[in-house]
């Protein structure tokens, strides 16, 4: 029985590690595609969404490192590498939010209008489906392992889902109405969510409770 239990735990931690790697590589691909298409179509909300994806990669690397340590039976308290990754992530999110907010204001003043938001719709729909699946399996494995860290990661992945919804609403809204302010509004929402992500990352770096709708501690 003991051997079976240990084997089951190893399988769960391996699965959690795979989920973390999928998150990292997905965000890398999403970031490249979103920035490229956002620049081509002059869509500031899609471009900012892509930048956000790159910041998520840094956070994802920290989570992957944590899961690997947990799988080896190490203490769940975050080590120096993970805390450094979280501090960099938090700072990057704040910088991104400031840039996105300033860009949104300039876009409104100059009455900027994207060439098209078609790719914003496509990218956001793919992201919504992907994030939903990642949340589902992260919650599943986190519950099975009774891991606050993995459950906190799953809860914070919901912010990525919310970002995707914000991009979808802005992109569909512009596509239907042609109102350029909607693209700027989408950029502003992404900036607000980035501020929240930055705050959560810095809280986790300090070992404080996570505020991203999760009940566990960000250990």
The tens digit of pLDDT for each residue in 68-119 reads 887 777 666 666 777 787 888 888 889 989 999 998 898 888 888 999 999 9
pLDDT score at 4: 64
Higher model confidence: residue 100 or residue 4?
A: 100
Q: Are 89 and 198 in contact (CB under 8 A)?
A: yes
The 10s digit of each residue's pLDDT in 150-203 is 887 887 788 889 999 999 999 999 999 989 889 999 999 999 999 988 888 888
| Domain 2-205, CATH number (from 1.10.30, 3.40.50, 1.20.1510, 2.60.410) | 1.20.1510
Residue 102's closest CA among 35, 32, 201, 190? Answer: 190
Locate the domains of the chain by residue range: 2-205
* Spatial CB neighbours of 77, under 8 Å, sequence gap ≥ 6: 207, 219
Average pLDDT, the chain: 85
pLDDT score for 216: 42
pLDDT of the residue at 75:
67
pLDDT cut 90: percent of the chain above it: 47
As a whole number of angstroms, the distance between CA 55 and CA 194 comes to: 10
HEC secondary structure over 63-96: HHHHHHHHHCCCCCCCCHHHHHHHHHHHHHHHHH
Query: What pLDDT band is residue 2 in, cutting at 50, 70 and 90?
Result: low
DSSP class of 178: -
């Amino acid at each position: 029985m003991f051997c079976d239990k240990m084997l089951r735990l190893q399988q769960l931690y391996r699965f959690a590690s795979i989920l973390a790697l999928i998150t990292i590589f997905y965000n890398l691909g999403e970031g490249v595609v979103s920035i490229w298409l956002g620049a081509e179509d002059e869509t500031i909300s899609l471009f900012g969404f892509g930048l956000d994806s790159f910041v998520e990669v840094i956070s994802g690397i920290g989570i992957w490192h944590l899961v690997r340590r947990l799988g080896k039976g190490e203490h769940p308290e975050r080590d120096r590498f993970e805390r450094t990754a979280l501090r960099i992530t938090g700072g990057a999110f704040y910088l991104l939010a400031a840039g996105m907010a300033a860009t949104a204001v300039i876009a409104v003043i100059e009455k900027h209008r994207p060439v098209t938001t078609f790719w914003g719709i496509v990218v956001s729909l793919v992201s919504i489906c992907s994030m939903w699946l990642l949340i589902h399996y992260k919650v599943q494995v986190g519950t099975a392992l009774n891991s606050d860290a993995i459950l906190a990661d799953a809860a914070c992945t919901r912010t990525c889902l919310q970002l995707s919804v914000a991009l979808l609403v802005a992109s569909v809204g512009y596509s239907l109405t042609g109102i350029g302010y909607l693209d700027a509004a989408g950029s502003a929402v992404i900036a607000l969510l980035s501020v929240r992500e930055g705050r959560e990352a810095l809280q986790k770096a300090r070992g404080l409770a996570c505020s991203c709708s999760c009940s566990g501690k960000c250990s």
